[in-house]
Amino acid sequence: MASGLRPKARTTYRQSRTIEPLHTTGSIAVTLDGSKIVTCLAEEALLTELSSGKLLCRFSCASESITTLCLSPSAAFLVLFTTPPSLRLYEVPDVCSGQVVQPFRVIAHAHDAPVHVCTVDPTSTFLASGSADGIVKVWDISAGHVTHVFKGHGGVVSALKFNFPRDPSIASSERTFQLVTASVDTRIRLFDLMATSRNDQEALRPIAVLDGHVSVPRGLDVTPDGKWLISGGRDSVVLLWDMSANSRSTDGSISKRKVKSKDVTPSLFKTVPVMESVEAVGFVHPELNDFTAKSPRLEFFTAGDKGVVRIWDLTQGSVVYSLATDAGSNAVDQEAERQILDAFYLPTEDAIVSAHADQNIFIYSLKSRSLIRHMVGYNDEIVDAIFLSPPSSPQNSPSQSRSRDTQLALATNSSLIRIYSISNLDAQVLAGHSDIVLSLDQGLGGRVFASGSKDRSARVWAFAQQPDTNGWGCIAVCEGHAESVGSIAMSRVYDDADSHPRFVFTGSQDRTIKMWDLSELPLTFSGVGPVKCHSLTTHKAHDKDINSLDIAPNDQFLASGSQDRTANVYEVSYTPRSGGKPPRGEIKRIGCCKGHKRGVWNVRFGRTERVLATGSSDKTVKLWNLEDFTCVKTFEGHTNSVLRVDFINHGAHLVSTGSDGLVKLWNVREEACVATLDNHEDKVWALAISADEATIVSGAADSVVTFWQDCTEEEEEEREAKRADQVLREQDFMNYLALHDYRRAIELALAMQQPGRLLALFGEIRSAALEQGLQNDTSASGNDALDEVLRTLSSADLSLLVRYIRDWNANAKTSGVAQSVLYAILKLRPAEDVLEAFGYNSPEGMSRPTGTTSSLKDIVDGLIPYTQRHLTRLDRLVQESFVVDYVLNEMDDGIFNGTDGEIMDVDEPSYHAS
């Protein structure tokens, strides 16, 4: 019997997580353990956890644009250079809770020109920065001062790298600490940082200048033993330099002649043409490479304008393998440039991180030679969103049990569809459309989905089941519309035994609705090209653009909303293929819902009742009866266009989103808004609700996707617990009053934050003292017990009581109690206690009580004017009392004719002779 009960209505939702812009431009940095990443977003830097995609903290830059950044190898310091050229040093917090981190040191005018490259040495002690005026500075991070200034570069400094050999097996009496620089003059310079400690006269001059590139070198790397240097540039070549302290002969043998560090000139060992402009280069697997042989075995990676990371064998001068995704390679021809701007190798994770010009960040595993993490830096405007439920593993068939709503598909202001894993926000980008994707809809419970685009086509996507394919792929294309496909709806009826979807409807700006047959499509993507779908029918539906389509849960009705201010309802007739007969489909209009004053943006059928909900630009949501197509309810509350609507709680509640950036939850029966969810700053175009209705997802034009999690039961439990606790506290308060235990009564009233009960308590004590005439000079408040309570009140309770006194003092009726209690506090407590209660002159640096924001100065400023007003009022009353005394005295003189002690007998008449 319990299984047949309807679940409790979900009426309270709370923000659980968001997908926000992560990276717009500039450099990135990853900790050596691969757990955190630092990215640039406009005028701040973000620290994000890679495993979950959770934002850990923000680094503020005071509204200055970031030009470059780097993270110390110890992950203890973050270095930012901004415009105007200033240096900002931050300590990376150990415990992160989304807070904003301020720099512990800011050096204004660190350079005279913008800084575009910087790096930290392996010991996290020194920082090197190169500016556009050709000057390189070396900084002591902890002290914050410059240790070296290197000039002479012929233009913008394009790359920096420290050479600090760390091979303990090599015993050397002299340490090697060098800085390798590259600039737009195509030269690579080598500076000795230890020369200054030897008081060398030529310490600031390069010990070697390497010529070999004919264009700007953009990538530099040095082996851990410091013997090999690799450089890559925009001249499409990679050069390997021998940095050994011993000179190498022409036949490759090593000479035993010892030379001084400053006499060493690195020699060019090999040139590798890579046939692309190189933006980043570095050694991989340095622990496996043979650096001691005459012909060393070296592997390195390159990344450049082709958007592909390549692993090279230096001995053969050939590519070992490439790291790229199919979506990425297709997007080069269809989407924005996917040039790699920065890339580096993570030895501990054996992975390569690459940042692309289209604001995507990829992490590739060299062990599996595959993409293991994809982070979308910026989604732009979110247009639509749907939940997806792909099979949990390739071995599971679609009919087997699977997790529901494990992925989220987003249509953004792009031709690419973003697929996010809800567990860790790992992303996949689907390429196929040639123009912006406008609409999405799912079918078969999220196992397939369809998309409509400005390229006048619709595509159907399915999950790949083969081990050699990854993620989703396009299985069908629907082409035939003359204008953009702005709305799409897939058939709703399915069961786990289905092997094919049934049909899909598309609505276009050409004002027509097309019905497409999907009965022969597979449920999985096999890697082959998409098939072309057959159109079953075309119907001229509206006089203006069609904005929305929806299919009834039983697949028997179709609704369309248009800019012509109407919503049409159609009867759907579909016959699948049988007996050699082709499938047939028709739609027939059976009704029109008229009543909106502006265009209809969205239509949605009720899931349990024969009703239709519509959202319009006239700021209203209307509910229509499908029996006679009349409006039965109108919901008003949005301050701008209503863009999306949907039902929850078996049709008892509606969810709507609008151009005002709000998500509203409506009670259908009462036509009232029961909750407003606010986390967007622009139009909320996308709305998706999970199958169990526990999660609502909203996406807006501000590039923010918000997950709203149901917390109805938690809220009710919290309210019930608070209610029970409140009842117990009130009973305890009454018991304390009956026992005259003023201390506990006052402390409990302060803990419950009930100033009314506290005021009544003080008023009763004051009235009792006045009535009994207990004007005791030894009692400041008129009650010795109350004096003792006020004398020993804790700092937190004292500060809260003073704030209540300020509020009471603002009312003439309660000012007497406020003044008497304030007098008692000032009489019984020294000034130091009051200051300490508000966080002043506290030996432990006591913080202010939780939940209070006003300072002692604000309290005093609130007390003085009202106290002066009350004093003026009392003075006026005293003056008026003198007038009353004077009038009464004059009346006495007139009645008794000035005779003292004689009382006129008013009962006996007196006659006076005329």
pLDDT given for residue 179 in this prediction: 94
Look up residue 189 and give its two tokens. Answer: 């310079």
Residues 6+ apart with CB under 8 A from 712: 8, 9, 10, 11, 12
Look up residue 255 and give its two tokens. Answer: 């000479």
Could you count the other beta carbons within 10 Å of the beta carbon of residue 17?
A: 17
Count Cβ atoms within 10 A of the Cβ of residue 533 and give its class: 0-12 exposed, 13-18 middle, 19 or more buried: buried
Look up residue 460 and give its two tokens. Answer: 């159907």
Q: What count of Cα atoms within 13 Å lies in the side-chain half-sphere of residue 572?
A: 31
Phi, psi of 165 (to 5 degrees): -60, 135
User: How many Å apart are CA 311 and CA 63, to the nearest integer?
Assistant: 39
Residues 6+ apart with CB under 8 A from 458: 450, 451, 452, 477, 478, 485, 488, 504, 506, 516
767: enclosing H helix or E strand? helix 755-771
Residue 882: what residue type? F
pLDDT given for residue 129 in this prediction: 96
User: How many Å apart are CA 164 and CA 183, to the nearest integer?
Assistant: 21
Radius of gyration over alpha carbons of the chain, in Å?
39
The CA–CA distances, whole Å, from 770 to 31, 773, 797 equal 72, 5, 26
User: How many Å apart are CA 595 and CA 635, to the nearest integer?
Assistant: 13
Q: What count of Cα atoms within 13 Å lies in the side-chain half-sphere of residue 474?
A: 23
Listed residue (836, 737, 758) closest to 796, CA to CA:
836
Residue with tokens 């036509």: 671
HEC letters along 165-185: CCCCCCCCCCCCCEEEEEECC
Q: Walk along the chain (914 residues) in steps of 10 and give the mean pLDDT of each run.
A: 57 91 90 92 90 90 90 93 92 88 92 94 94 94 91 92 74 74 94 73 82 94 89 94 59 37 73 92 74 65 92 88 64 57 90 90 90 90 94 49 83 92 89 94 92 96 73 92 95 74 93 93 84 93 94 94 95 87 92 95 92 96 94 95 95 95 95 94 95 94 94 87 86 83 82 85 79 62 79 84 88 86 86 80 44 67 86 85 83 60 51 41
User: How many Å apart are CA 809 and CA 743, to the nearest integer?
Assistant: 23
pLDDT given for residue 42 in this prediction: 82
User: How many Å apart are CA 412 and CA 382, to the nearest integer?
Assistant: 5
3-state secondary structure of 587: strand
pLDDT given for residue 891 in this prediction: 82
Q: What is the DSSP string of 604-648?
A: EE-SSSSEEEEEETTSEEEEEETTTTEEEEEEE--SS-EEEEEEE
Could you count the other beta carbons within 10 Å of the beta carbon of residue 203?
A: 18
Angle at 680 between CA 676 and CA 683, to 5 degrees: 100
User: How many Å apart are CA 165 and CA 250, to the nearest integer?
Assistant: 25
User: How many Å apart are CA 826 and CA 837, to the nearest integer?
Assistant: 13
Look up residue 403 and give its two tokens. Answer: 């997790």
Residues 6+ apart with CB under 8 A from 7: none
Angle at 381 between CA 530 and CA 667, to 5 degrees: 100
User: How many Å apart are CA 851 and CA 283, to the nearest integer?
Assistant: 54
Find out whether 202 and 262 touch, Cβ atoms under 8 Å. yes
The CA–CA distances, whole Å, from 797 to 192, 323, 732, 749 equal 64, 63, 18, 10
pLDDT given for residue 3 in this prediction: 43
User: How many Å apart are CA 886 and CA 751, to the nearest integer?
Assistant: 51
User: How many Å apart are CA 79 and CA 61, to the nearest integer?
Assistant: 11
Look up residue 172 and give its two tokens. Answer: 């050397």
Listed residue (442, 634, 635) closest to 523, CA to CA:
442
User: How many Å apart are CA 78 and CA 94, to the nearest integer?
Assistant: 13
Long-range contacts of residues 108-114, Cβ cutoff 8 Å, at least 24 apart:
108/84, 109/84, 109/85, 110/81, 110/85, 110/86, 110/137, 111/81, 111/85, 111/135, 111/137, 112/85, 113/85, 114/67, 114/81, 114/83, 114/85
Find out whether 503 and 517 touch, Cβ atoms under 8 Å. yes
CA dihedral of residues 473, 478, 483, 487 (deg, nearest 10) = -70
148-180: burial string, b at 16+ Cβ within 10 Å, e else: bebebbeebbbbbbbbbbeeeeeeeeeebbbbb
Residues 6+ apart with CB under 8 A from 738: none
Count Cβ atoms within 10 A of the Cβ of residue 833 and give its class: 0-12 exposed, 13-18 middle, 19 or more buried: middle
Find out whether 24 and 42 touch, Cβ atoms under 8 Å. yes
